[in-house]
Amino acid sequence: MNFRYKLMQFMSGRYGADALFYVLFSLSAVLAFVNIFIRSLILQIIVYLIMLVAVLRVFSRNFPARQRENIIVLSVINKIRSIRGLRRQRKADYTHIYKKCPYCKATLRLPRKKGKHTTVCPRCGKSFTVRVFR
C-alpha cells in the first residue's frame, strides 16, 4: 500500500482543516515572523502552542465541538468582510457622502454638493448642519 492510501485511512473520521485552522496557522506564522526581530522565548512558546492547537484540531474526532468553534470564526470573518465591502462601496460612491446623525447615530446618504447644508434625519426628525468640502 502506498503512503497516500495510508494517510487517507488515518484521516478517515477526523475533522480536518477548516477556517479556524487557517486563522490559527496564519496567526502563528505572523507571530513567528515578529519573533525573528524580537527574539522572545515566551513569544516562541506561544507560537508553538498555537500551532499545536491548530494541528490537534485537524486530528480531532469531536465533530460537533470543532464545528461550533468554526461557526463562530466564520461569523466573525463574514462580519469583517461585510464591513469591508460596505466601506469599499461607500468609497466608490462619488455622487453621495455618508454622515451620521448626531442625535440618533443613523447613517445618512446625502448628495455631494459643496458647501454648508441643513438636513433633516428621516429616523428621528431632527435637523442638523452638514459641511461638504469636495
Q: pTM value? A: 0.67
Q: Containing H/E element for 127?
A: strand 127-132
Q: Which three cell numbers stand for residue 27?
A: 496567526
Mean pLDDT, range 49-54, rounded to an integer: 97
- 89-124 residue pLDDT tens: 888 888 999 999 999 999 999 999 999 999 999 999
